[in-house]
Amino acid sequence: MTTENIRTYDVIVIGAGPVGENVADRTSAAGLSTVIVESELVGGECSYWACEPSKALLRPALLRSDAVHVPGLDPAVGNPLDAEAVLAHRDRMSADWNDDGQVDWLKSAGIELLRGHGRLAGEREVSVETPDGDTVRLRARHAVAVATGSRAALPPLPGIDDLRPWTSREATSARKPPGSLAIVGGGVVGVEMATAWQALGSRVTLLAREAGLLPRMEPFAGELVTERLREAGADVRCGVSVVAAERIRDSQVRITLSDGGEVVADEILFATGRAPRSQDIGLDTVGLVPGEWLTTDDSLTVTAVPGNWLYAVGDVNRRALFTHQGKYQARIAGAVIGARARGEQLDTGRWAPHSGTADTEAVPGVVFTDPEIATVGLTVREAERTGRDVEVVDYELGRLAGAHQYRPDYRGRARILVDRERQVVVGATFAGPGVAELLYSATVAITAEVPVERLWHAVPAFPTISEVWLRLLETRRDS
Ligand SMILES: Cc1cc2nc3c(=O)[nH]c(=O)nc-3n(C[C@H](O)[C@H](O)[C@H](O)COP(=O)(O)OP(=O)(O)OC[C@H]3O[C@@H](n4cnc5c(N)ncnc54)[C@H](O)[C@@H]3O)c2cc1C
Ligand SMILES: NC(=O)c1ccc[n+]([C@@H]2O[C@H](COP(=O)([O-])OP(=O)(O)OC[C@H]3O[C@@H](n4cnc5c(N)ncnc54)[C@H](O)[C@@H]3O)[C@@H](O)[C@H]2O)c1
């Protein structure tokens, strides 16, 4: 049955992932009536099949890895993880795939929820196919924000569907560890899931086509993760591609590799990147190409569509595929929509309220592997590619008293990049156990453009891993 209702709101948000929710929160707080459209679960990929479940699987693995190396703790934590208990914890951290709590939050923020599949239907209009088959037409007075996120991208391998492969969804929601798991892709999802499932009892083979893992980061990050994964028993093979794969005996997958090798595993996970969820959202009705990433300017406005009413926020714009960075964009998009609705001039200068400057200058990210990898700003390769003149300063974290206290066998490295002309930090990578919480200090140093000379006055407490900041300054002074 199709009924034609036209409902008018100030703002329509398509997609109630973490990013869409935050856009709606900001526009609602600005006094604009806001409806959010969601086709699956309110909370999006992050809450149910990405950040939350994956970190719930990883935390016990990382904690155990540290604890078995702390004298006195070994007898208490020497046994393998209790996989059943970890998976039950993962279920709770994913709210048992129930979005009641998030729906309540939307209500408390004054945001209306419309369940269904949303599609643009021309300027400022959205058509929603509801679960009971109705079509609801929505009209926006001020703005439509597309926050439909991304999905796993599968390679064009012949017969891939017959493999019944895992994507990040199955890898984060599986009911039990497979006996053996082959993972294709040495990026963030690949290494995190290899760490988690190896620790939960699966025999993991990680297949990366580049020369090393985490190829977009400083090489030492991938080298440390490779070392630890191998110590944990995983088979890590770099520089290989999958040329063919088939299901055999229904219960296993046989994979043929470019180097002539073969891997047989119970399950195969493709962790080969993301594609935008933009195929079926009516992009053609506003002159855009379905299935493409949505390009925006720094105010998150889709400039290819005239009239400044269409915004793309979060994964779907490909600016930085992280929940925290999408939420940053959401706060900015919300402020921009509010300002335009009030007829105010935008303030879009560098680091100004209506500009997502951090998306290009300081995107923080933590890979929750053993050891953790924390990065923000430029790597050496990016600095070279963009013609930035930088000083590179390295320090071995294992030399710090705080690192020895943390775990006596500590291995890790830190690197900062200092812009030679401006004398400010423009990039930082920390690789080592427990470094995730160090990252915010580097993010502040970069965004606040703190002169390196002033950092001498930011005294790190003894004995903490933060003392790496002092050691990096000393290394730079003495080199
Ligand atoms: C395994 C894994 C682990 C990750 N871990 C982390 C992490 O630890 N930290 C981190 O910062 N990032 C992490 N990420 C990235 C993070 O999940 C994404 O950056 C984040 O979810 C993006 O949020 P979003 O709101 O843009 O999109 P999504 O979370 O994908 O949400 C989009 C929403 O839009 C809905 N939708 C799509 N199309 C329509 C439509 N036509 N109509 C209505 N609704 C629609 C979807 O159902 C979904 O609910 C991880 C990703 C993966 C795959
Ligand atoms: N801790 C976190 O914050 C976290 C965790 C997981 C994911 N994420 C986000 O999710 C995004 C997606 O992660 P991802 O690991 O899927 O993507 P990615 O881009 O990080 O890595 C994908 C890898 O797969 C490889 N690949 C692509 N096609 C291939 C093919 N046909 N055969 C073999 N290898 C192939 C690529 O070369 C790349 O190394 C990341 O960019 C990250 O921002 C964040």
Cβ atoms of 234 and 194 within 8 Å: the answer is: yes
What's the pLDDT tens digit per position in 409-440? 999 999 999 999 999 999 999 999 999 999 99
* For the chain, percent of residues with pLDDT exceeding 70: 99
What's the pLDDT tens digit per position in 439-477? 999 999 999 999 999 999 999 999 999 999 999 999 999
ω before 463 within 30° of 0 (cis)?
Answer: yes
Domain spanning 371-478: CATH superfamily = FAD/NAD-linked reductase, C-terminal dimerisation domain (3.30.390.30)
CATH class of 6-48+94-151+276-358: alpha beta
What pLDDT, on a 0 to 100 scale, did the predictor assign at position 250?
A: 82
Cα 428 off chain centre by? 18
Ligand 1 centroid to 319 CA: how many Å?
Answer: 14
Instruction: Find the angle CA(280)-CA(14)-CA(131) to the nearest 5 degrees.
Output: 70
Residues annotated as binding site for FAD?
55, 118, 148-150, 315
Ranges of each domain in the chain: 6-48+94-151+276-358, 160-272, 371-478
**SS3 state of residue 443:** helix
Model confidence at 1, in pLDDT bands (50, 70, 90)?
very low
- d(CA 61, CA 44) in angstroms, rounded, equals 25
pLDDT exceeds 70 at position 2: no
- The residue-averaged pLDDT of 166-178 equals 98
Identify the residue whose tokens are 């129930």: 98
Check for a shared fold between 160-272 and 371-478: no
Closest by CA to 380, choosing from 339, 423, 427, is 427
Identify the residue whose tokens are 């996970």: 269
- Ligand 1 atom closest to 323 (CA): 11
- The residue-averaged pLDDT of 279-303 equals 98
Using the 8-state DSSP alphabet, how is residue 165 labeled?
A: -
Which ligand is closest to the CA of 15, given by its number? 1
What pLDDT, on a 0 to 100 scale, did the predictor assign at position 249?
A: 82
Ligand 1 pocket list (CB less than 6 A) = 14-20, 37-40, 44-46, 50-51, 54-55, 117-118, 147-150, 168, 172, 189, 277, 281, 314-315, 321-324, 326
Task: Report pTM.
Answer: 0.97
Q: In what order do the strands lie in the sheet with 235-238?
A: 235-238, 203-208, 180-184, 267-270
CATH number of this structure's domain 160-272, picked from the four choices 3.30.450.40, 3.40.710.10, 3.50.50.60, 3.20.20.70? 3.50.50.60
Residue 60: Cβ-neighbour burial (10 angstroms; 0-12, 13-18, 19+): buried
- Ligand 1 atom closest to 193 (CA): 1
- d(CA 5, CA 24) in angstroms, rounded, equals 22
- Ligand 2 atom closest to 367 (CA): 1
Model confidence at 75, in pLDDT bands (50, 70, 90)?
confident
Residues annotated as binding site for NAD(+)?
185-192, 273
Return the residue whose CA atom lies nearest to atom 6 of ligand 2.
Answer: 189
Torsion 99-104-107-111 (CA) sign: negative
DSSP assignments along 34-46, one per residue: EEEEESS-TTHHH
Return the residue whose CA atom lies nearest to atom 37 of ligand 1.
Answer: 148
Residue 362: Cβ-neighbour burial (10 angstroms; 0-12, 13-18, 19+): buried
Ligand 2 site, residue 187, Cβ cutoff 6 A: yes
What pLDDT, on a 0 to 100 scale, did the predictor assign at position 4?
A: 60
What's the pLDDT tens digit per position in 329-339? 999 999 999 99
Cβ atoms of 148 and 316 within 8 Å: the answer is: yes
